Amino acid sequence: MVFRSRLMHRTAKFAPRCAVCGKGIIPQEGEKESVRVIAMDKSFHPACYKCEDCGLLLSSK
């Protein structure tokens, strides 16, 4: 599931953490919304959500 939301989290301190890189999922600079992938009850940056075997970027398409 790709999830787009307006988050109150402007800093990584209180933002949801990416299960791959461990960084906070916050809006990009100049953006008001952040995008995250939720799978298996974990959150991921879209760029971090990849196949573990081949490294292919997974998407909702």
Q: Which pLDDT belongs to residue 12?
A: 62
For residues 26 and 12, the answer to whether their CB atoms sit within 8 Å is yes
Q: Which pLDDT belongs to residue 32?
A: 80
Give the residue extent of every domain in the chain. Answer: 1-61
The hierarchical CATH code for the domain 1-61 is 2.10.110.10
pLDDT at 1 over 70: no
For the segment 5-61, what is each residue's pLDDT rounded down to a tens digit?
Answer: 555 555 567 788 999 999 999 888 888 888 888 999 999 999 999 998 999 988 766
Q: Which pLDDT belongs to residue 20?
A: 96
Q: Is 37 exposed, middle or buried (0-12, 13-18, 19+ CB in 10 A)?
A: buried
For residues 35 and 26, the answer to whether their CB atoms sit within 8 Å is no
pTM beyond 0.85? no
Name residue 46's beta-bridge partners. Answer: none
Q: Which pLDDT belongs to residue 5?
A: 55
Give the helix ranges, DSSP H, for the chain.
Answer: none
